[in-house]
A and B are shown apart, each in its own frame.
Chain A
Amino acid sequence: MTDTSAPLASRRRLPVSILIGTGLAVVIVAAAVLAPSLIPFDPMRMAAGPRLAAPSFDHLFGTDEFGRDLFSRVLTGGRLSLGIGLTAVVSGLAIGGLIGLVAAFAGRLVEATLLRIIDVLYSFPDTLIALALVAFLGPGIENATLAIAISLVPFYARVTYGLAAAERAKPYVEAAKLAGIHTGRLVRVHVMPNIGQSLVVMGTLGFSSAILSAAGLSFLGLGVQPPSPEWGAILASGRNYINKAPWILIFPGVAICLTVLSFNLIGDSLRDLVDPRRKDRS
């Protein structure tokens, strides 16, 4: 109601962090997607060059203990890592989101029960949950992806519940209820469009955590299995040569860091952009 608000709603500048984050992400995703046409060697081909060769013009990232070209392996590995991350995030978000929405809209009893469970699970680090699940399911890329997806569920359930519960109390939702709109439609048509944006942001943040978990599991030999060039798996195979051929560790390590960094940068700044959005009131 004060006179101050109207003229203040000027354009907000995009923060630098989002530009850096997006730039990095574009390069990483493009490299992964275009990997088949970018790589000079078959990533699985042994003796593509000398064994444990240092980075050179022929082998940009050097070679590993079997003489495989690391540049080709890291790029191809990106496809795996990003693929696992994306699959895990999408399914984790779908399941967690559904649980969060149910908790927020299916009545007091369901709400209390689900929240209790979510809170307990949420108190464990998600990598730990993923680890326990893989130990139970057995190693392999599908199981690892599934485990990571499930490990993200408590986080996404929590976040979605929080957003939905805040929305639920708003008069526009109450008005929709009064009009007799049943709960399913209420959530789908009225609530989802208002929290979707925030959920996408949360998806971005979960993505980096999924990539880390994937690498961690593969490193421990529980995720992607050895000949496949997933980043964590490459790291694991290189750890015996840390003195002789540190590049085996450096390049996939840097790839993991940059990916995590870029998606965290994007997620964090998007969150800041989305949050103080409702500036029209108070």
Chain B
Amino acid sequence: MTPDALTLDNIRKTFSSGGRVVHALSGVSLSVGKGETLGVIGESGSGKSTLGRIAVGLEVQSSGKLFIDGERVDDMSAVMRRRRLRQCQMIFQDPYSSLNPRLTVGHQIGEGLYAAGVSDWREIRSTVADLLERVGLPRDFADRYPHEFSGGQRQRIAIARALAPGPEIVVADEPVSALDVSIQAQILDLLAEIRRENRLSYLFISHDMAVVARLCDRVAVMHRGRVVESGPIAAVIENPQHPYTRNLLDAVPRFGRRRTGRKPVPVDLPLHGDGDRFVSVGEGHTVLQASEDAAAG
């Protein structure tokens, strides 16, 4: 059996800011198979970005294990870890701050190749042009600066840059949230196409259920630093089990329904503790169940 591309095992992360301790992640476990796309969805502050940043090594977990290709990376030496983590690249939400305003687009993409050991800039230039073409941009855009591009084009450039070091895993943190709907569709299609060709695994973070449904094979729903439900995308959407998942799905605007202005009866969301276990509700579909004593206490 081939190992999963990425596995997070019981990851916890706390931040202390200004004397207060924030539990960003309280024991998250999930894995992304080879060539699979796992969506991570949840409300703002639920820990999605923190999870993604830990997966690529931009943040280090407070506890828990991180595996890439079945190999544990969090106890490697810094040098080894960095080399290993080069297989994990990231696409960021904001297409503006994620590109260096002072370097040409080609230079930024090429840096990833240079760091990977290609030292001939002529070779780098031609690979960069290939990459630009790959993401649907003209080859000669390499000599331009980021400010000459629209948000959608910038996101294509960011994708090319992420592809340059030849990753196996790409973490995309809300890569289409800042774009117009019509552009969103193009970028999602591009991501799907690249995944097929390069056999990439995606950890795809989003707060938009429709976008997740479009691209992902499976989805993990996060709430307050925990995964509360996960499973195949269709199963979770058609048969949501956790009250938070239901809330989330119900809130998505839809045609053929009018808001009445009456406040819905508030749903009590369970407060989960560390003792809570996942129960299976279908093939690969699990939901976090509040344990009895937690509910009582």
B62 to chain A, nearest CB (A): 15
Query: How distant is the Cα of A182 from the Cα of B89 in the complex, in angstroms?
Result: 16
Q: Is the CB of A175 within 8 A of B158?
A: yes
How would residues 209 to 236 of chain A score, 1 for a CB under 8 Å from any chain B CB and 0 otherwise?
0000000000000000000000000000
Q: Say if the beta carbon of A241 comes within 8 Å of chain B.
A: no
Q: Is the CB of A179 within 8 A of B164?
A: yes
Q: Is the CB of A177 within 8 A of B58?
A: yes
B residues less than 8 Å from A281 (CB atoms):
94, 96-97
A residues less than 8 Å from B100 (CB atoms):
172-173, 176, 190, 193-194
In the complex formed, the residue of A with least CB distance to B88 is A178
Query: How distant is the Cα of A179 from the Cα of B90 in the complex, in angstroms?
Result: 9
Given known contacts A189-B103, A194-B102, A178 and B86 CB-to-CB distance under 8 angstroms: yes
Which residues from 167 to 181 on chain A have a C-beta closer than 8 Å to any C-beta of chain B? 170-181
Q: Is the CB of B85 within 8 A of A179?
A: no
In the complex formed, the residue of A with least CB distance to B94 is A171
Which residues from 66 to 125 on chain B have a C-beta closer than 8 Å to any C-beta of chain A? 82-83, 85-86, 88-90, 92, 94, 96-103, 108, 111-112, 114-116
Selected contact of A179 from candidates B99, B101, B161, CB within 8 Å: B161
Selected contact of B103 from candidates A174, A177, A185, A193, CB within 8 Å: A193
Q: Is the CB of A181 within 8 A of B111?
A: yes
Selected contact of A280 from candidates B102, B116, B147, CB within 8 Å: B147
Given known contacts A175-B90, A177-B58, A193-B102, A170 and B97 CB-to-CB distance under 8 angstroms: yes
Q: Say if the beta carbon of A1 comes within 8 Å of chain B.
A: yes
B residues less than 8 Å from A178 (CB atoms):
56-58, 85-86, 88-90, 165
Query: How distant is the Cα of A164 from the Cα of B94 in the complex, in angstroms?
Result: 20
A151 to chain B, nearest CB (A): 31
Q: Is the CB of A180 within 8 A of B86?
A: yes
Query: How distant is the Cα of A179 from the Cα of B170 in the complex, in angstroms?
Result: 12
Query: How distant is the Cα of A178 from the Cα of B56 in the complex, in angstroms?
Result: 7
Query: How distant is the Cα of A174 from the Cα of B100 in the complex, in angstroms?
Result: 11
Q: Say if the beta carbon of B192 comes within 8 Å of chain A.
A: no
Selected contact of B112 from candidates A171, A179, A194, CB within 8 Å: A179
Q: Say if the beta carbon of B249 comes within 8 Å of chain A.
A: no
Q: Is the CB of B115 within 8 A of A1?
A: no
B189 to chain A, nearest CB (A): 22
B residues less than 8 Å from A280 (CB atoms):
96, 147
Selected contact of B116 from candidates A172, A180, A185, A278, CB within 8 Å: A180
Q: Is the CB of A180 within 8 A of B82?
A: yes
Q: Is the CB of A172 within 8 A of B99?
A: yes
Query: How distant is the Cα of A281 from the Cα of B96 in the complex, in angstroms?
Result: 7
Query: How distant is the Cα of A194 from the Cα of B108 in the complex, in angstroms?
Result: 14
Query: How distant is the Cα of A187 from the Cα of B162 in the complex, in angstroms?
Result: 20
Given known contacts A193-B102, A193-B103, A194-B102, A179 and B97 CB-to-CB distance under 8 angstroms: no
Q: Say if the beta carbon of B178 comes within 8 Å of chain A.
A: yes
**Listed residue (A1, A173, A176) with the most chain B CB atoms within 10 angstroms of its CB:** A176
Given known contacts A178-B85, A179-B89, A179-B115, A172 and B57 CB-to-CB distance under 8 angstroms: no
B243 to chain A, nearest CB (A): 32
A residues less than 8 Å from B108 (CB atoms):
172, 176
Given known contacts A1-B178, A181-B111, A174 and B165 CB-to-CB distance under 8 angstroms: no
Instruction: Identify 14 new A-B residue pairs, CB closer than 8 A, beyond the known A194-B100, A281-B94.
Output: A170-B97, A170-B98, A172-B98, A172-B99, A175-B98, A178-B56, A178-B57, A178-B86, A179-B115, A179-B161, A190-B111, A193-B100, A194-B102, A278-B101
A: residues with CB less than 8 A from B are: 1, 170-182, 185, 189-190, 193-194, 278, 280-281
Q: Lowest 7 A-B CB distances belong to which pairs?
A: A179-B112, A171-B98, A193-B102, A180-B115, A171-B92, A172-B100, A181-B115
30 A-B contacts, Cβ less than 8 Å apart? A170-B98, A171-B92, A171-B94, A173-B100, A174-B58, A174-B92, A175-B90, A175-B161, A175-B162, A178-B57, A178-B58, A178-B88, A178-B90, A179-B115, A179-B116, A179-B161, A180-B82, A180-B112, A180-B115, A180-B116, A181-B112, A181-B114, A182-B115, A189-B103, A189-B111, A190-B111, A193-B102, A193-B103, A194-B100, A194-B102
B: residues with CB less than 8 A from A are: 56-58, 82-83, 85-86, 88-90, 92, 94, 96-103, 108, 111-112, 114-116, 147, 158, 161-162, 164-165, 178
